[in-house]
Structure 1
Amino acid sequence: MAIANIFVYVVRYGILNWSPIYLKEVAHLSNSGAAIGFSIYEYAAIPGTILVGWLSDKVFHGRRAPMGIICMIGDILAILVYSHTTNITLLFISLAVMGALIYGPVMLIGVSALDLVPKKASGTAAGFTGLFGYLGGEVCAEAVMGFVVDKFKWSGGFNLLIICSILSIIFLAFTWNVHDRSRDSVKA
């Protein structure tokens, strides 16, 4: 989960840190237009995270990985739309979708870590996955994304985000059946 979190954070911060620049340089939006896009990404996270958490409980019976994988697949699709459109409305819609979906896996990985350990170890578990995300993911998103965009243009940066999304899916898949509460209700 901690390794998956690295790749989720690369996508999260890759979009968060670089979307205002992309919107200004490529979409030719004003500073206020880029700020609107940035805000859409952030505000979409609130209902998205709530919905993703609810779905992981109700539909997947506490299994966090399936919902995280669905979110990352949705993020890949939104990144593809975002990177290939010049339509401002589609840019903003894809930012909203990315924002609504990327914060779900961030939250689900932390919750999954909490689900796996005794209560007295919950802070350590959450800290461990968070540390991997911030140190590995955020630093990589800042430094590597900038390098990749400089060297391979924006298409290289978007390819990096898609590759990181795929890697997060692979690592989340290893925890597919972790904490399935439907089995607990059958035993009771």
Structure 2
Amino acid sequence: MEHDYPQRQPEKFAQFLKRQKMIFVVAFLGYVCAYLVRNNFKLMSKSIMVTNGWDKADIATLLSCLTISYGLAKFYMGALGDKVSLRKLFSICLAASACICMIIGFFHTSMIMLAILLILCGVVQGALAPASQNMIANYYPNKTRGAAIAGWNISQNMGSALLPMMIAGMTTMGWIVPKTENILAAFIVPAVLVLAFAAICWKCGGDKPEAEGLDSLRTMYGEAGESNVASEEEKSSLTYWQLIKKYVFLNPMLLLVAAVNVALYFIRFGVEDWMPIYLHEVAKLSDTQAQMAISVLEWVAIPGSLVFAWLAAKYPNKMAKMGAIGLFIMSGVVLAYEMMTATGAPNYPALLVVCGVLGALIYGPQLIVNILTINFVPLNVAGTAIGFVGVTAYLIGNMGANWVMPLMADGFGWFWSYVVIAALSAFAAVGYLVLAKHEAKTIKA
């Protein structure tokens, strides 16, 4: 019997569980490292702008080079991950990201070189999220896959929080002097650390269990090994492109997941990216107060995500319902955030609490997208599905927030910008409720 596998193959199962833990550690820390060599230019953009005498439009253009190339790369790099070694793809692209980061440090005075390097950075970074999630998906069965993906999702918050702390520490020690050309350390030091970890990923990362002489999830766990969206016969009879067409491009549930993710990315970047300007212009906060509010949002996102990770472990096939509840609450919190800041003199401690709740409700429900994406497709096209859902989110959700938020604010006032965010939160919640029915059918825990 399939569920007797641990008793029938105790040594092999023990070996699998050991590899399972190692795969998670590599995927998690590897993606923390990805952020240590992705956001360096954004964090140092003010110093680079002042040093070179550039304006905000120049910086916006350069940031768009990274955003667009990264968004597009998530799709074709995700598809590549379905066909090649995930371990090698992840390690090579992480090492390439580190090398590009170093080169950026030396060429931060050239607009053309920066544009080229940031495009290249986006291309290689586009492989890292799909590859690391795919590694986890191939080693975790239905019951624990959601919790593992949810736990992995926290890596982006840790990376986002660690890099500015590293740069601030180097600034304090005098390694970086803002508004001068002495900003090389902000690119070199993180890149050296990441390059060293890429070597560890090459040695310890993984592909599918079968590639390492282990048995498949289906063999070890039966129907509880992977989602029941496609039979073994269908997966073997259809070509790779036929599977992509059926389960990615023409899969109604995955298309709805992508639509929900577009809304969630608009919410995430609409709130976070415009928070510094909004809190300065409307709430009349100082730069330090606004930065503290952003920091609180990022840090509280970690325990908030852990709560959703715990829910994923407790209710492995009910995550869509949890996401819906969180997003309905989010609609109200967004409006409360706007109303308490619109007075121009908000209660600052209360504002920090609201920002923390926003962080938890932005990142918590968003990690459910990663879980559903993997669960709604056969595992051998999971990378393509992750990339497809990611590219739509960046090119529509992220770019939409960059343009719609300021246009709404200038034309109708900030209140209506946040009404749009609240409405999108409610839309995403309804989308999750629709997805919940399909999730219950396909995921056997």
After TM superposition, the score normalised by the length of structure 1 is: 0.91
Q: What is the identity, as a one-letter code, of the residue corresponding to 1:77?
A: G
Per the TM alignment, residue 100 of structure 1 is displaced from its structure 2 partner at its CA by 0.7
Contact kept? 2:332, 2:422, Cα under 8 Å: no
Q: Does 1:137 align with 2:392?
A: no
> Distance in 2 between the 1:126 and 1:103 partners?
17
Comparing 98-107 and 60-69, the one that deviates more: 60-69
Q: What is the identity, as a one-letter code, of the residue corresponding to 1:38?
A: I
Comparing 43-52 and 140-149, the one that deviates more: 43-52
Deviations 1:60-97 (A, max 9, x none): 33222111111211211211221111211221111110
Quick one: percent identity of the two aligned structures? 32
Per the TM alignment, residue 105 of structure 1 is displaced from its structure 2 partner at its CA by 2.1
Match in the other structure for 1:156: 416
Contact kept? 1:78, 1:95, Cα under 8 Å: no
Contact kept? 2:320, 2:439, Cα under 8 Å: no
Q: What is the identity, as a one-letter code, of the residue corresponding to 2:339?
A: H
Match in the other structure for 2:326: 71
Contact kept? 2:260, 2:431, Cα under 8 Å: yes
Q: What is the identity, as a one-letter code, of the residue corresponding to 1:82?
A: Y
Question: Secondary structure in 1 aligned to 2:437?
Answer: coil
Contact kept? 2:311, 2:319, Cα under 8 Å: no
Q: Does 1:23 align with 2:23?
A: no
Match in the other structure for 2:335: 80
Per the TM alignment, residue 36 of structure 1 is displaced from its structure 2 partner at its CA by 0.5
The list of structure 1 runs, each at least 4 consecutive aligned residues, that deviate by more than 6 angstroms after superposition, is none
Match of 2:363 among 82, 99, 103: 103
Instruction: Give the count of matched residue pairs.
Output: 184
> Distance in 2 between the 1:2 and 1:182 partners?
18
Deviations 1:11-42 (A, max 9, x none): 11110111111111122111111100111111
Match in the other structure for 2:215: none
- Matches for 1:159-174 after TM superposition, within 5 Å: 159-174=419-434
Q: Does 1:2 align with 2:258?
A: yes
Gaps of at least 5 residues in structure 1 are: none
Match in the other structure for 1:93: 353
Per the TM alignment, residue 172 of structure 1 is displaced from its structure 2 partner at its CA by 1.8
User: Highest CA radius of gyration, 1 or 2?
Assistant: 2
Match in the other structure for 2:312: 56
Gaps of at least 5 residues in structure 2 are: 1-256, 341-345
Q: What is the identity, as a one-letter code, of the residue corresponding to 2:425?
A: S
Contact kept? 1:61, 1:180, Cα under 8 Å: no
> Distance in 2 between the 1:136 and 1:171 partners?
17
Match in the other structure for 2:268: 12
| Cα 1:182/1:110, change in 2 over 3 Å | closer
Match in the other structure for 1:116: 376
Per the TM alignment, residue 152 of structure 1 is displaced from its structure 2 partner at its CA by 1.1
Contact kept? 1:63, 1:181, Cα under 8 Å: no
Q: What is the identity, as a one-letter code, of the residue corresponding to 1:16?
A: E
Of structures 1 and 2, the one scoring higher in RCO (CA 8 A, sep 6+) is 1
> Distance in 2 between the 1:63 and 1:127 partners?
24
Question: Secondary structure in 2 aligned to 1:62?
Answer: coil
Q: What is the identity, as a one-letter code, of the residue corresponding to 1:21?
A: I
- Matches for 1:23-42 after TM superposition, within 5 Å: 23-42=279-298
Contact kept? 1:27, 1:88, Cα under 8 Å: no
| Cα 1:72/1:78, change in 2 over 3 Å | same
> Distance in 1 between the 2:318 and 2:385 partners?
17
After TM superposition, the score normalised by the length of structure 2 is: 0.40
Contact kept? 2:261, 2:389, Cα under 8 Å: yes
